[in-house]
């Protein structure tokens, strides 16, 4: 076999230098930023660097080395180096208190992914018959050779001379073609290495590249040089084969496959799986103790999708803040197998519905059992009014959410997109817990944050005397100056507005029906706050309906007017939450777009993502909560609607 690397080393060096001399330098592994990075990120970054080197070797192996050796023999040392890096990176991460073993594919699996990508590239690059086969098995090009096994001694000398000349010309053409293919092979090998190294560098420094502009610049430079050298540089003499754009696409596909194997753990099942965390979970210098309000264990659920996008969902389930509300109780108090999202089969919980925008996403389901809307970090003995009785509640919702965050960032390392949401109490969990996710866990991922039926209509008395019992203030984001103030100075509108303003690249929004009702709905809990300790009055949840509607609309309109990346959606009727209801695909009452189309627009950032309010807000839809007989204002059951004075 004619082997160009041995014959023309200077030519190869010149080609590579011309193509990639201006590629961005890779940061050293011992720099300050890496020391500050999370151990999993450092571990995966080192694995990606090893994968980058191996990708170069794997692609190059189809074109270099001893022609008598197979690709496997050529790559033996490179495979050992990659496996050794895997072991060292995982040991270093474990020494830092974080296991990285489950985070990525194994070294053997990564080698398999890269080998497949290299072979696909070799196939794409080859322009001559048998070229790939020749590189793989050590045989040269023989498409020009004549089948002379029976001999040609009986031919005339003139015929023999003509045949020899023809074969010589064909062999020369074949050599030229192989030279060109070899140049292209080298370009592809170096491009794959640079692409994966760019991702490795970004992972170690993404807090300094939150908009991914540096990463995008690095990738675009590599792709631009590859395309240019492919068609106008050292490899331009090839006849046929892929275009420069097709080469960029092929190399990018190989790098993407390796990147996905590094960032989205194949150890995570594609089916919902219950995770029971340890009683003590070390995380960022603290020891977290996940627990439910009555001292029972807390669990959460996870599943792997097929794209590098992650859904964080916070479950609802009421709240409590004093002896009366906590002893009834008015909140969900335990978690377990019964919370498994796999049992849900409607709305966005139905991951088999082709209209569901989250059907292919990785997902973390955060159950709720602490009575603190996922915000708390306190153990409180709530005493009765006469002081003779008390009930102990572990308000540890924020702690539980941090445990879920730790797991998520260690298994879905660098999502392209993150959607944070939750229903009812989970809507409050979504906004507060999205902030450390945006700031620390995935600082360069794009976020969309949506609260489902949690608009924050509360009384002044609740704000000043009750919410602080959950230990909320210590969990507010001190890195957002406007929110680093006493809790009593904030409204729900402030929380959404200031979060949106601090993260202007991300999108934020609230969904609610116009008169969100029922005993566990938003008007129901507002009614409880209006009547502290008066349990009898709590059953008349509908009485503050119009007042609640007025305050809710004021809050969302205030956020929308102050934050350009915030929107609201107000649908008709009194239903509490939409996430698990099929109305998300069908309801257009009052001229609104379907909820799914509105969320699709949010995800895509298109002009269709607008503020939405039903033109017929008081119309009661099938299944909407309504008072038991006899009916009371503002519900007119005969007319099937809610009537409030303007």
pLDDT in tens, 546-576: 999 999 999 999 999 999 999 999 999 999 9
pLDDT of residue 7: 27
The arithmetic mean of pLDDT across residues 168-195, rounded, is 76
pLDDT of residue 122: 85
| Residues 223 and 184: beta-carbon distance below 8 Å | no
Residue 359 domain-assigned?
yes
Same domain, 57 and 101: yes
Instruction: For residues 521 and 452, give the distance between their C-alpha atoms in angstroms, rounded to a whole number.
Output: 11
Residue written as token pair 């102990």: 392
pLDDT of residue 224: 96
What's 437's DSSP letter?
A: I
The arithmetic mean of pLDDT across residues 575-586, rounded, is 98
Residue 14 domain-assigned?
no
Asked if residue 163 has pLDDT above 70, the reply is no
Paired tokens of 272:
């919902």
Instruction: Give the per-residue SS3 of 52-98.
Output: HHHHHHHHHHCCCCCCCCCHHHHCHHHHHHHHHHHHHHHHHHHHCCC
Higher pLDDT: 394 or 629? It is: 394
Asked if residue 184 has pLDDT above 60, the reply is yes
Same domain, 138 and 75: yes
Strand order in the sheet with 612-613: 273-275, 300-303, 362-366, 309-314, 417-423, 446-452, 507-513, 566-571, 612-613
Asked if residue 152 has pLDDT above 50, the reply is no
Please report the DSSP string for 302-351 in residue order: EE--SSSEEEEEE---B---SHHHHHTT-B----SGGG-GGG--SGGG-T
Same domain, 379 and 316: yes
From residue 103, how far is each of 81, 213, 266 by CA, in Å? 20, 25, 8
pLDDT of residue 63: 73
Which region, left, alpha or beta, applies to residue 312 given φ > 0 means left and ψ of -120 to 50 means alpha?
A: beta
The domain in which residue 237 lies consists of 32-143+156-263
Asked if residue 586 has pLDDT above 70, the reply is yes
pLDDT of residue 183: 85
Around Cβ 341, how many Cβ atoms within 10 Å? 17
Minimum mean pLDDT among 132-146, 360-374, 379-393, 439-453: which range? 132-146
Label the pairing between strands 286-288 and 281-283.
Answer: antiparallel
pLDDT of residue 174: 55
Residue 360 domain-assigned?
yes
Higher pLDDT: 329 or 378? It is: 378
Quickly state the pLDDT bin for 23 (edges 50, 70, 90). very low
Residue 163 domain-assigned?
yes
The arithmetic mean of pLDDT across residues 171-198, rounded, is 82
pLDDT of residue 125: 80
From residue 38, how far is each of 24, 98, 265, 454, 577 by CA, in Å? 23, 9, 17, 32, 36
Instruction: For residues 68 and 32, give the distance between their C-alpha atoms in angstroms, rounded to a whole number.
Output: 46
Instruction: For residues 537 and 528, give the distance between their C-alpha atoms in angstroms, rounded to a whole number.
Output: 8
From residue 300, how far is each of 68, 185, 312, 340, 395 by CA, in Å? 55, 47, 11, 8, 17
Paired tokens of 241:
């084969």
Asked if residue 33 has pLDDT above 80, the reply is no
The arithmetic mean of pLDDT across residues 114-140, rounded, is 64
What's 485's DSSP letter?
A: S
pLDDT of residue 166: 46
Last residue of a domain, one of 231, 263, 295: 263
Same domain, 416 and 486: yes
The arithmetic mean of pLDDT across residues 374-388, rounded, is 95
Label the pairing between strands 566-571 and 507-513.
Answer: parallel
Same domain, 499 and 459: yes
pLDDT of residue 252: 96
Last residue of a domain, one of 203, 234, 263: 263
Instruction: For residues 235 and 628, give the distance between their C-alpha atoms in angstroms, rounded to a whole number.
Output: 80
Same domain, 519 and 610: yes
Which residues have a Cβ under 8 Å from the Cβ of 33 and sit 6 or more positions away? 27, 204, 205, 207, 208
Minimum mean pLDDT among 146-160, 361-375, 456-470: which range? 146-160
pLDDT digits over 504-546, tens only? 999 999 999 999 999 999 999 999 999 999 999 999 999 999 9
pLDDT of residue 265: 93
445 phi and psi angles, rounded to 5 deg: -85, 150
Residue 23 domain-assigned?
no
Please give the share of the chain, as a percent, with pLDDT higher than 70.
85
Paired tokens of 367:
């159950």
pLDDT digits over 219-257, tens only? 999 999 999 998 876 566 677 788 899 999 999 999 999
Instruction: Report helix, strand or coil for 365.
Output: strand
Paired tokens of 103:
């985070």
Please give the share of the chain, as a percent, with pLDDT higher than 90.
77
Paired tokens of 61:
């192996």
Quickly state the pLDDT bin for 135 (edges 50, 70, 90). very low
pLDDT of residue 28: 40
Residue 148 domain-assigned?
no
Please report the DSSP string for 119-168 in residue order: HHHHHHH--STTHHHHHHHT----TT----TT--TTS-HHHHHHHHHHHH
pLDDT of residue 517: 97
| Residues 289 and 396: beta-carbon distance below 8 Å | yes
pLDDT of residue 282: 96
Q: How many domains does the chain have?
A: 2
Last residue of a domain, one of 235, 263, 291: 263
pLDDT of residue 242: 87
The CATH number of the domain holding residue 396 is 3.40.50
Quickly state the pLDDT bin for 62 (edges 50, 70, 90). confident
Quickly state the pLDDT bin for 437 (edges 50, 70, 90). very high
Same domain, 412 and 468: yes
Paired tokens of 356:
């569901």
Same domain, 191 and 287: no
Paired tokens of 13:
């060096």
- What is the C-alpha radius of gyration for the chain, rounded to an integer number of angstroms? 31
Higher pLDDT: 36 or 339? It is: 339
Paired tokens of 418:
């993150």
Residue 121 domain-assigned?
yes
Same domain, 245 and 392: no
Residue 240 domain-assigned?
yes
Instruction: For residues 138 and 515, give the distance between their C-alpha atoms in angstroms, rounded to a whole number.
Output: 75
pTM: 0.89
Same domain, 292 and 237: no
| Helix (H) or strand (E) segment spanning residue 395 | strand 390-395
| Helix (H) or strand (E) segment spanning residue 111 | helix 107-125
pLDDT of residue 99: 93
Spell 176-211 as b/e; 16+ CB within 10 A means b: ebbbbbbbbbbbbbbbbbbbbbbbbbbbbbbeebbe
Same domain, 280 and 239: no
Around Cβ 78, how many Cβ atoms within 10 Å? 20
Same domain, 423 and 316: yes
The arithmetic mean of pLDDT across residues 47-59, rounded, is 96
| Residues 252 and 227: beta-carbon distance below 8 Å | no
């Amino acid at each position: 076999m004619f082997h160009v690397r041995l014959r023309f080393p200077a030519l190869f060096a010149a080609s590579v230098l011309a193509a990639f001399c201006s590629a961005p330098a890779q940061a050293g592994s011992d720099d300050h930023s890496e020391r500050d990075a999370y151990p999993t990120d450092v571990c995966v970054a080192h694995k990606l660097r090893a994968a980058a080197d191996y990708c170069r070797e794997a692609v190059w192996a189809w074109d270099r080395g001893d022609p008598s050796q197979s690709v496997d023999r050529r790559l033996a040392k490179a495979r050992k180096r990659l496996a050794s890096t895997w072991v060292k990176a995982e040991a270093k991460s474990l020494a830092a208190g974080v296991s990285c073993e489950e985070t990525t594919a194994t070294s053997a699996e990564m080698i398999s992914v890269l080998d497949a990508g290299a072979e696909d590239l070799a196939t794409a690059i080859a322009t001559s018959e048998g070229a790939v086969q020749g590189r793989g098995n050590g045989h040269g090009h023989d498409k020009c050779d004549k089948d002379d096994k029976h001999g040609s001694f009986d031919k005339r000398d003139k015929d023999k001379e003509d045949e020899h000349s023809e074969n010589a010309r064909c062999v020369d053409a074949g050599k030229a073609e192989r030279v060109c293919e070899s140049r292209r092979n080298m370009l592809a090998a170096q491009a794959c290495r640079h692409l994966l190294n760019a991702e490795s560098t970004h992972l170690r420094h993404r807090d300094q590249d939150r908009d991914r502009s540096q990463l995008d610049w690095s990738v675009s430079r590599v792709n631009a040089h590859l395309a240019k050298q492919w068609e106008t540089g050292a490899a331009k003499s090839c006849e046929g084969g892929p275009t420069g754009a097709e080469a960029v696409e092929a190399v990018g596909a190989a790098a993407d496959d390796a990147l996905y194997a590094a960032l989205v753990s194949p150890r995570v099942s594609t089916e919902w799986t219950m995770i029971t965390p340890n009683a003590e979970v070390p995380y960022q210098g603290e020891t977290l103790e996940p627990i439910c309000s009555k001292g029972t264990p807390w669990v959460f659920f996870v599943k792997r999708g097929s794209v590098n996008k992650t859904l964080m969902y916070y479950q609802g389930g009421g709240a409590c803040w004093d002896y009366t509300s906590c002893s009834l109780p008015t909140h969900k108090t335990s978690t377990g197998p019964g919370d498994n999202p796999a049992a849900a089969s409607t709305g966005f919980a139905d991951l088999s519905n082709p209209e569901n925008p989250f059907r292919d996403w990785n997902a973390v389901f955060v159950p709720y059992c602490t009575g603190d809307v996922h915000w708390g970090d306190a153990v409180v003995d709530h005493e009765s009014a006469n002081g003779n009785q008390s009930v102990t509640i572990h308000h540890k919702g924020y702690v539980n959410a941090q445990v879920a965050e730790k797991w998520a960032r260690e298994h879905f390392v660098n999502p392209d997109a993150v959607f944070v949401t939750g229903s009812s109490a989970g809507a409050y969990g979504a906004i507060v817990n999205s902030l450390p996710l945006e700031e620390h866990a995935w600082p360069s991922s794009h976020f969309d944050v949506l609260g489902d039926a949690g608009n924050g209509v509360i009384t002044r008395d609740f704000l000043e005397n009750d919410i602080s019992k959950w230990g909320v203030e210590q969990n507010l984001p001190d890195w957002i100056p406007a929110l680093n103030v006493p809790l009593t100075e904030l409204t729900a509108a402030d929380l959404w507005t200031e979060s949106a303003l601090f993260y202007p690249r991300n999108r934020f929004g609230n969904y609610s029906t116009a008169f969100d009702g029922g005993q566990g709905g938003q008007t129901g809990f507002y009614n409880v706050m209006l009547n502290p300790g008066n349990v009898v009055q709590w059953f008349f949840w509908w009485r503050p309906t119009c007042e609640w509607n007025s305050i809710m609309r004021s809050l969302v309109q205030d956020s929308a007017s102050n934050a350009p990346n915030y929107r609201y959606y107000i649908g008709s009727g009194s239903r509490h939450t939409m996430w698990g209801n099929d109305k998300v695909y069908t309801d257009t009452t009052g001229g609104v777009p379907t909820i799914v189309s509105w969320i699709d627009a949010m995800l895509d950032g298109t002009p269709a993502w607008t503020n939405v309010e039903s033109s017929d807000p008081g119309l009661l839809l099938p299944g909407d909560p309504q008072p038991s007989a006899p009916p009371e204002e503002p519900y007119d059951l005969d007319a099937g609607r809610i009537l409030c004075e303007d």
